Amino acid sequence: MSDTMKMKRLAAHPLAGTTMTGAQMIVQVLADEGTTAIFGYSGGAILPTYDAVFLFNQEQAARGGQQMPLIVPANEQGAGFMAAGYARASGRVGVCLVTSGPGATNTVTPVRDSMADSVPMLVICGQVPTSAIGTDAFQEAPVPALMGSIAKHIFLVTDPNQLEATVRTAFEIARTGRPGPVVIDVPKDVQNWSGTFKGEGVLPIPGYRKRLFAVTHAAVEDDEAAEFFDMLREAKRPLIYAGGGVVNSGASGPLTDFAAEFGIPVVTTLMGIGAFDTTHRLSMRMLGMHGAAFANYAVEDCDFLMTIGARFDDRVAGVPAKFARNAKRIAHLDIDRAEINKVKRVQWSHVGQIGDALKTLLAFGRREGFRPDLSAWHAELDELRRTYAMNYDRASEAIQPYYVIEEINRQTRGEAIIATGVGQHQMWAAQYFDFKRPRLWLTSGSMGTMGFGLPAAIGAQIANPGALVIDIDGDASIRMNIGELETVTTYDLPVKVVVLNNYGDGMVKQWQKLFFKGRLSASDKSLYKKDFIKAAQADGFGYAVRLDRKADVPRVVEEFIRHPGPAFLEVIIDRDAGVYPMVGPGQAYDEMITGDFIPSRNAKVEPKTPGPSEMF
């Protein structure tokens, strides 16, 4: 906790001793915790809190204070993803406020998505009155049972005297340690109850705070640092493998300082994109199933792998025994002890704050005068980048999606916030965009939730009003939350929406072509009749353009980006465009399929049918 926060806690709250309803207490704590926007949809069981938001904003407007706008989506799943986008783009806790029953159940997917990607989010659900819980009352759902297994924590508030402390504690749990979503289920009678606002206090959660204290105060001792540098000193080909934990913990700066000081190249996971500037000379970009060929070959060749805020998931270490097969040693830094040795055995580990650990290691290395000569390794990596560079059919008459993204990237220069849906377009965006800093890349990683991109972009734009926010989406993915187009225009947000239209579920089709003998079961479905331009115009987009001529790409992309308000661009792309490289399920990096335009350093690899237990 910062000194400023400590002083705030010690000073009496100006409203302490005031009589408030439970709903007003919820809203006041949201404001005290720095909430600048709320995302949600109203309904009977949450109406008291919605009214309290209205009254709070009315009073703030009269006093010239900071309001908390309430952003209303098309449905609650959109609200959850907006809160997640807000959190991912800002690092603050995103807040979602929904009603009971279907309002709560519609947020199940965003809650699980945020848990899987370690995103700090607070979902406050209305609930039927305490006396009606368990009677199958109108719009009742067993939220604690539903959310308990997918959220970081769930509270059901039955004692109104605990409400204020519960909301404050929920923020604490959501943002600390390994971040995640917290759900509070608040019966309507608890919202309507009146009591004295204390302006302070949290719940006694001694077990959590004890574990948190241990990891936040865990330091890399000198003997541990010496052991680490003994391994690094022996290495000729060290490599950093950085994940989303670097972004979540705000450790991008220490990571960059550490890598630059000792000249250690960096690969990142899908969730770690932006943790290290992709334009930096040491960047080897993304590794994994659809990582760059040169990144995967670097992992194959390294002799010391430093894993920082990553977890050896199946999309990266598909065959753990063969992952980084030439690495004599692996080190692992993470905030979550459960990730150490869970998938891949390591020789050195530290559980604690990643940024602090990297600063300590950097200081130790400087004191020791550690100056490795990695020029031969750097030359090898430069050759890998040149020989196995990302590429595609640049002579094609059809618009290639890679070309569109390259052009957007050329004009935005790695400074735009990019949100995506899930599918081929997601991987193309990860492969071809540059990201100069963290929190510019927003995507559903572990859950792979289609429909994520548009609402996440809305949340990111609310969190960063002056930023250029672009949703790169697919025709099938955007369809799942297409109602949020109207949310963009309702709030006059300058969100830019790109739909790369290949008429169907492109990634599923790619798998079916590779592994199911081309049987396009339910994936080549009929999005042929959807007129996205008319849909965008109907929802109020003043700029809505269909791009179907390759020669027009630079001009139209520039018009699209420079348009001052909401803008929609549909691009008719090559239906056969694929995502390459690709490491198939159950395969190692030496079996990577690189496609027709990226060389492979191994003999031509034929797609292998996945085994019965191998995943999508």
Bridge partners, residue 525, by sequence: none
Angle of helix 22-32 versus helix 163-175 axis, rounded to 10: 30
C-alpha closest to that of 450 among 110, 184, 71: 110
Give yes or no: 486 in active site: no
Strand order across the beta sheet in which 121-127 lies: 70-71, 38-41, 94-98, 121-127, 181-187, 153-156
Distance, in Å, from the CA atom of 388 to the CA atom of 486, rounded to the nearest integer, reads 43
Angle of helix 222-234 versus helix 354-367 axis, rounded to 10: 70
What lies within 8 Å, CB to CB, of 538 at 6+ separation is none
Using DSSP's 3-state secondary structure scheme, residue 195 falls into strand
C-alpha closest to that of 199 among 18, 411, 69: 18
CB atoms closer than 10 angstroms to residue 40: 30
Contact between 485 and 535 under an 8 Å Cβ cutoff? The reply is yes
Angle of helix 553-562 versus helix 401-412 axis, rounded to 10: 50
Give yes or no: 138 in active site: yes
Using DSSP's 3-state secondary structure scheme, residue 189 falls into helix
**Catalytic site residue from 25, 39, 76, 424:** 76
CA 509 and chain centroid, separation: 25
**Catalytic site residue from 284, 286, 427, 507:** 507
**Catalytic site residue from 188, 496, 509, 530:** 188
C-alpha closest to that of 573 among 491, 484, 487, 472: 472
**Residue given tokens 């924590």 in the structure block:** 153
238-242 and 304-308 beta bridge pairing: parallel
Give yes or no: 261 in active site: no
**Catalytic site residue from 60, 67, 139, 347:** 139
Q: What is the 3-state secondary structure (H, E, C) of 394-433?
A: CCCCCCCHHHHHHHHHHHHCCCCEEEECCCHHHHHHHHHC
Distance, in Å, from the CA atom of 474 to the CA atom of 505, rounded to the nearest integer, reads 8
Backbone angles phi, psi at 194, to 5 degrees: -115, 140
C-alpha closest to that of 335 among 198, 179, 170, 166: 179
Give yes or no: 76 in active site: yes
C-alpha closest to that of 566 among 496, 500, 498, 499: 496
**Residue given tokens 């190692």 in the structure block:** 588
Determine the Cα angle at 309 with ends 307 and 312, to 5°: 60
Distance, in Å, from the CA atom of 259 to the CA atom of 175, rounded to the nearest integer, reads 27
Using DSSP's 3-state secondary structure scheme, residue 266 falls into strand
Query: Measured between alpha carbons, how far is residue 536 from residues 56, 346, 482, 539 in Å?
Result: 34, 51, 9, 5
- The answer to whether the peptide bond before residue 73 is cis (omega within 30 degrees of 0) is no
C-alpha closest to that of 418 among 377, 362, 461: 461
**Catalytic site residue from 6, 66, 138, 415:** 138
**Residue given tokens 């009929």 in the structure block:** 526
Give yes or no: 188 in active site: yes
**Residue given tokens 């999606």 in the structure block:** 401
Q: What are the residue numbers of the active site?
A: 76, 138-139, 188, 507
